[in-house]
Amino acid sequence: MSEIQIFGMSPLKGEISIQGSKNAVLPMMAAALLHRGTTVLMNVPDIRDVACMTDILEHLGCRCRRQGDCMAIDARQIEQTAIPDCFVCAMRSSIIVLGALLGRMGEGGGCYPGGCLIGARPIDLHLKVFRELGAQIEEKDGHLRVRRGAGGIRGAEICLSYPSVGATEQAILASVLAEEVTVVHGAAKEPEIESLCDFLNNMGAVICGMGTEHLMIQGVRRLHDSSFRVDGDRIVAGTYGAAAAAAGGDVLLKGVKPSDLREPLRILGRMGARIQPEEKEGRIRISMDGVPGAVHICTGPYPQFPTDLQSPFMAALACGQGTSRVEEQVFEARFAAARALRAFGARISIREREAVVEGTRPLMGAQVMAPDLRGGAALAVAGLAAEGETRIGNCRHIERGYEDICRDLSALGARIRWVKEDGT
């Protein structure tokens, strides 16, 4: 295991290209199962979660070939319909493979999903989607099995009580090859949902209503070979925006849509940053001269503030001035990073779903462990604004979603590097 070493208090300056989106590419890889042929994805990030999804697809019978940031998935022959426990427990996103297996093979199975420990994250809406499409569900000893019912998988009108991204993806994947039309009311509106629909339409699916809470999927008999470029990762871009706010400086983030980050960019502006979005060019310039000012952040489904950026922004506020409030309305247990930030001298108090952050500058370098994916990135943000040395362990969490956070931040002038167990 390696650690991240940071010597803070160096402003960030320069430009970097943002990697492909983790939350977009994983459901696309699952969707490749629906086509009895080859799918090519471009701008695929080199992260642990993509490696895990690749292992799942290969276990099921796909042939996956990667060259640089391009991945070709040959799904002509699917031999298995059960996902091994080791993959499901490692990555919660693996549950979306069930919808694709149901649509392609008529059945799929696996244990209950794992991944980051950020609350219960029940899958009741996923199961509701399967039932309304006509699937039968067996639950036994912590395992699920979904099977096509006697009437097959048929279009349905599905009403989601909450705009769950995962449940919306399940509905899309399970109904693309179904008989008749499926309408999803209360669908998630995240950019990653729109990307998945664009990707499937590019394969021959018929989906409309993207960007609204009403999706319509007209079932088709077959899909065709295709290639598709994955958008830049808005959460990685937002993390580096929080880093710029914490450390100060002037950074240009390329390869990401500013419109996908409207609320985080608005919050950065209220914190004192100067924001120059360039939608056509797909880039954002973020400049920060002073220290972050106090703001109120409340997470919620898109287009509200993304829960995945709550921890990195909290880290930036911890080294600012004034009293900020952060309300977590998506997951009930996502303040593990707040507890870790206290090791830097951050003054953060937690009351149920709200964290009160009293800005303190400078923070002090600390030896900490990454509690989860985004919490680990938040500790890196704090280290950039801390005096002295910071060491972050348990970095496998960070590698699940960031190609190389040290490479990117050091390209902006940060004093950050990977340190192996032998100190090199």
Task: Output the CA–CA distances (angstroms, integers) from residue 328 to 57, 189, 246, in the order listed.
Answer: 34, 19, 21
Give the total residue count for the chain: 424
Residue 298 annotated among the catalytic residues of the structure = no
Distance CA 224, CA 216 (A): 20
Distance CA 46, CA 401 (A): 9
Tokens 């998945």 belong to: 196
Instruction: Tell me the residue ranges of DSSP E strands in 224-346.
Output: 226-229, 249-254, 274-278, 283-288, 296-298, 323-327
Tokens 């983030």 belong to: 253
**Angle in degrees, CA 47, 33, 52, rounded to 5:** 25
Which two structure tokens, joined as six digits, stand for 416? Answer: 């950050």
Which two structure tokens, joined as six digits, stand for 141? Answer: 């000893």
Which two structure tokens, joined as six digits, stand for 360? Answer: 């303190």
290 three-class SS? coil
**Residue 230 burial by Cβ neighbours in a 10 Å radius (0-12, 13-18, 19+):** buried
Task: Output the CA–CA distances (angstroms, integers) from residue 306 to 116, 173, 222, 265, 301, in the order listed.
Answer: 16, 23, 35, 12, 7
**Residue 371 burial by Cβ neighbours in a 10 Å radius (0-12, 13-18, 19+):** buried
**Neighbouring C-beta atoms of residue 415, cutoff 10 Å:** 15
**DSSP secondary structure letters along 110-144:** EEPP-SS-SS----HHHHHHHHHTTEEEEEETTEE
What one-letter code names the amino acid at 260? D
Q: Which of 116, 197, 319, 395 is catalytic?
A: 116
What one-letter code names the amino acid at 141? D
Catalytic residues: 116
